[in-house]
Amino acid sequence: VESKSFYISRSDYFFLFLHNRINALAKIRRARPGQRFINALLIVDVQYDFIDGSLALKNCPSQHQGEQVIPVINRLLTDIQFDVVAYTQDWHPSDHISFYGNLHLRSHLLADDSKPADELKLFDTAVFLLDDKKSMKKERVEQILWPAHCVQQSHGAELHRDLMIVKPTRKRKVINLLKGFDKDIDSYSAFWDNQKVRETLLNSKLKEYNVTQVFIVGLATDVCVFSTAMHSVENGYSTFIVEDGCRGVDETNIGLRLDELINSDCAIIQSTDVKDLI
Ligand SMILES: *[C@@H]1O[C@H](CO)[C@@H](O)[C@H](O)[C@H]1NC(C)=O
Ligand SMILES: [Zn+2]
């Protein structure tokens, strides 16, 4: 048997990939027949530190230019009448657990099977044993050690000045959401912190506004956009990642995360598709 028979050509793979995406889309759209869609745009973490600051994507493996999402998002805000627009910001205290430079503050809390403090490097994953806020038990927390970023009140934590900030109107609600402000808990998702200890107000606001569809753009595809989208699906919204409105940390990881999202019934679309979906 020739090993060639197991080979999937690039074009076959492309059609398989397209087929999966269209299937996911059909499934999502079937979920709510005959109903007017109420549409929210979630704009995730379009902050200086991820664009040209301490955690700039252009210095990450992807070498993505984070600012490229801004014209795409501004065009969506101009061309499409969303019922709800939400802006999120990573918003950390200076002693935050996710900062590599703060490792010494918690080195006594490293789990036995964690890499020891003196071997942990930037972007490594540390395992901490922290007091569980809900029970008396210790909780294992796997934490990537990032460079310090998005420190509260700093320039790096501000939304990029070129990002269009829309005002609330009679027809449009606007939500501003800060996340990651508990010093011991990181929060990639705009819905929940990473340990799912504390829910943000996002879900209750979207429910209050009767939102049915959530479109997600921003930074970074494989981290905060991914986590936000997973929780959006979990909370019952038809969820769309607007791929050209997102940039990420690592190409391989982006591919894996997008596949994971497709398997969770999230659709991956382009910004030009949005007008046909609302
Ligand atoms: C949401 O739906 C409820 C029930 O249909 C309605 O009473 C309420 O006014 C709606 N809220 C908004 C903000 O449209
Ligand atoms: Zn952060």
* φ/ψ (deg, to 5) at 2: -75, 135
Which atom of ligand 1 sits closest to the CA of residue 210?
Answer: 1
Does residue 210's CB lie within 6 angstroms of at least one atom of ligand 1? yes
pTM of the model: 0.88
Q: Residues with Cβ < 8 Å from 58, sequence gap 6 or more?
A: 52, 64, 65, 66
Annotated active-site residue 179? The verdict is: yes
Ligand 1 neighbour 209 (Cβ under 6 A): yes
C-alpha torsion sign, points 248, 68, 151, 192: negative
| Residue 45 falls in the annotated catalytic set | yes
Residue 139: predicted pLDDT: 85
Q: Please list all protein residues whose beta carbon sits less than 5 angstroms from ligand 2, which is an ion.
A: 90
The verdict on whether 224 is a catalytic residue reads yes
Q: Which residue's alpha carbon is nearest to atom 13 within ligand 1? A: 209
Q: Which of the residues 49, 150, 179, 250 is marked catalytic? A: 179
CA 277 – ligand 2 centroid, Å: 31
Cβ(100) – ligand 1 distance below 6 Å: no
E strands present in the chain: 39-44, 84-90, 125-131, 138-144, 173-179, 213-219, 238-247, 267-269
Interval between CA 204 and ligand 2 midpoint (Å): 23
Tokens 């200086």, located at residue: 48
Q: Could you tell which of 83, 209, 210 is best to mutate to test the pocket of ligand 1, judged by most ligand atoms within 8 Å of the CB?
A: 210
**Residue 153 corresponds to which amino acid?**
Q
pLDDT score of 6: 44
In the set 184, 186, 222, 224, the catalytic residue is 224
Both tokens of 78, joined, read 């101009």
pLDDT at 4: 39
Cα→Cα distances 28→65, 234, 236, Å: 31, 13, 10
Query: Which pLDDT belongs to residue 18?
Result: 62
pLDDT at residue 3, as a whole number = 41
Residue 24: its pLDDT value, please?
58
Would you give per-residue pLDDT tens digits along the chain (278 residues)? 344 344 445 555 555 556 555 655 666 664 555 678 999 999 999 999 999 999 999 999 999 999 999 999 999 999 999 999 999 999 999 999 999 999 999 999 999 999 999 999 999 999 999 887 667 788 889 999 999 999 999 999 999 999 999 999 999 999 999 999 999 999 999 999 888 878 999 999 999 999 999 999 999 999 999 999 999 999 999 999 999 999 999 999 999 999 999 999 899 999 999 998 98
Structure confidence at residue 23 (pLDDT): 58
Q: Would you say the CB of residue 205 lies under 6 angstroms from ligand 1?
A: no
